[in-house]
């Protein structure tokens, strides 16, 4: 940092990525660096889990993945959600690798490995988590202003909880939680 004269002002430098509360965000409001960092951490832990065992059965691998690896992939998921396909593939790739670590499952298709191990996909968990949050907002579980709006103009069948879908001008806003 340099001072810009004798008046005590300081020129601030710029950076392309900042970290706030453990979440990396770049100057284009993308979370690709965060996804990359968390996927690398999860892959390292998966390697540490796999290495000491000569044989890992399905149930042991499932419990180790859920307890040690998945929390890194879902860290601060309330603040970010992967909207880019490359980020979704990077996160899902860790689970793909974990399911291939179990002997006898390596030759099965990915979806079959998930069914056998009784683990939902990362994409399913993100959608399920969003639906749970919508339910909590709509039924007053949170003691705050509801960011979601009900569509008052539509005659809904069966329930009165149809959400209003706002028009978005940018692709950034399209993927916000309130615009799902």
Q: Rounded mean pLDDT of the chain?
A: 84
Q: Say whether 3 sits in a helix, a strand or coil.
A: strand
Query: What are the residue ranges in the chain where pLDDT is below 50?
Result: none
Q: What is the pLDDT of residue 20?
A: 85
Which residue stretches of the chain are H helix? 32-50, 58-64, 70-73, 85-100, 110-117, 122-138, 171-174
pLDDT in tens, 85-118: 999 999 999 999 999 988 888 889 999 999 999 9
Q: What is the pLDDT of residue 175?
A: 65
Q: What is the pLDDT of residue 176?
A: 66
- The residue extents of the domains of the chain are 17-142, 147-180
Q: Say whether 18 sits in a helix, a strand or coil.
A: strand
What's the whole-model pTM score?
Answer: 0.77
């Amino acid at each position: 940092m340099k001072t810009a004269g004798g008046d005590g002002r300081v020129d601030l430098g710029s950076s392309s990525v900042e970290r706030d509360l453990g979440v990396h965000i770049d100057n284009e409001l993308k979370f690709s660096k965060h996804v990359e960092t968390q996927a690398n951490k999860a892959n390292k832990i998966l390697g540490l889990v796999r290495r000491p065992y000569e044989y890992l059965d399905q149930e042991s691998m499932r419990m180790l993945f859920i307890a040690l690896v998945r929390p890194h992939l879902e860290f601060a998921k309330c603040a970010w959600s992967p909207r880019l396909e490359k980020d979704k593939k990077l996160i899902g790739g860790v689970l793909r690798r974990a399911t291939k670590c179990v002997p006898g499952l390596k030759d099965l298709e990915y979806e079959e490995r998930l069914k056998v191990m009784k683990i939902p996909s990362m994409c399913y968990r993100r959608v399920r988590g969003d639906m749970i949050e919508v339910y909590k907002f709509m039924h007053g579980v949170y003691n705050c202003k509801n960011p979601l709006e009900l569509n008052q103009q539509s005659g809904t069948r069966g329930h009165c909880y149809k959400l209003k879908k706002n028009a978005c001008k940018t692709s950034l806003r399209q993927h916000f939680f309130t615009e799902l």
